[in-house]
Structure 1
């Protein structure tokens, strides 16, 4: 299954410098026999099934998003017509449920995911998605505190969000976006918020 957009039918102009919600997902570990590169390749196919199912279950149309394959994951730019609150309240819980279900159902390779959520301008080129918002999400995804949290808790999905997402969506929210689930962390001098509930 290809997760790459049909760039021939999607002009890039309508994407340039428009703020999107950026969801960056990465396979943090894939624990099979030895956790080999072969195991990681095996893990990529169910990752994409989980992601596509989560979008369907949350009611957020996958076809409206721009998505790029990355080495160990997938980068998704969700258009501004879809509220970031819907992504936090509906999509993220569906992702968490999907990866837990996969790991529970006698999966040959257990998968752990890291996720970063940010909002900002996205630029689409013939080579894929770029822009400061994507660079920021990538930095959040590789935060040492996020990595250590997942190692400590063994969480199937470890989530970090940018200050913008925290302030505009989470701070006054309830349910899955309950702000008491989050704590502030720092990565390379920049702040982010880690969903620290185990």
Structure 2
């Protein structure tokens, strides 16, 4: 068996995106069987598509990569970042509540959603970049998870330090003062994130 032959490496260039990463809380819990997980995943995607459409973010222009219990969404830079903190939290929380009302407990969704932005590289396998890594680190930080676990909310919005300073704090509609600063220490990443519990 011969190893795969790859074309010569092209010149690497990066493209700026808003980075959205969503993760279903307790997706692998033993109370969910495979069929429950499929219906939960469908509910997640339906909620995201509905909420993006409701606030004017063009889903069909985004790059979407499935993560099993969540999803990585790269939004083109020409889409206003303020949409993700002014209007998306309410629209997404409404969509999640609608899903939960029509499904049994083992198919209900509580969602962590992290927001960041940065330069992304794309190759024949997918996308990569330190900004993607950082978004996943703040999403999966134990302190962030614990703060959400202590609440009854349906949605946690987690802004990176950059996203808070540049977007959330500077928007009149973002409810910036409802975000709580959380220190993040996850793998190689030490930073802070800003968390708002919705719904």
Answer whether TM exceeds 0.5 for this pair.
yes
CA contact 1:21–1:117 (8 Å) conserved in 2: yes
C-alpha displacement of 1:35: 3.3
Decide which structure has greater helix share. Answer: 1
State which of 53, 56, 75 in structure 2 corresponds to 1:78: 75
Equivalent residue, structure 2, for 1:57: 54
Q: Which runs of 4+ in 1 moved over 6 A?
A: none
Equivalent residue, structure 1, for 2:89: 92
Q: Is the alpha carbon distance of 1:163 and 1:119 closer, same or farther for their aligned partners in structure 2, counting shifts above 3 Å? A: same
Larger Rg: 2
Structure 2 length normalisation: TM-score?
Answer: 0.83
C-alpha displacement of 1:106: 4.1
C-alpha displacement of 1:96: 1.5
C-alpha displacement of 1:119: 0.8
Structure 1 length normalisation: TM-score?
Answer: 0.83
Which consecutive unaligned segments of at least 5 residues does structure 2 have? 1-9
| Cα distance in 2, alignment partners of residues 139 and 33 from structure 1 | 25
C-alpha displacement of 1:84: 0.7
| Cα distance in 1, alignment partners of residues 53 and 198 from structure 2 | 25
Equivalent residue, structure 1, for 2:164: 166
| Cα distance in 1, alignment partners of residues 120 and 86 from structure 2 | 23
CA contact 1:160–1:192 (8 Å) conserved in 2: yes
| Cα distance in 1, alignment partners of residues 197 and 46 from structure 2 | 26
Superposition pairs of residues 111-130 of structure 1, within 5 angstroms: 111-130=109-128
Q: Is the alpha carbon distance of 1:197 and 1:63 closer, same or farther for their aligned partners in structure 2, counting shifts above 3 Å? A: closer
Superposition pairs of residues 117-156 of structure 1, within 5 angstroms: 117-156=115-154
| Cα distance in 2, alignment partners of residues 152 and 38 from structure 1 | 28
Name the SS for the 1:84 alignment partner.
coil
Superposition pairs of residues 183-198 of structure 1, within 5 angstroms: 183-188=180-185, 189-196=190-197
* Cα RMSD (Å): 2.3
CA contact 1:158–1:195 (8 Å) conserved in 2: yes
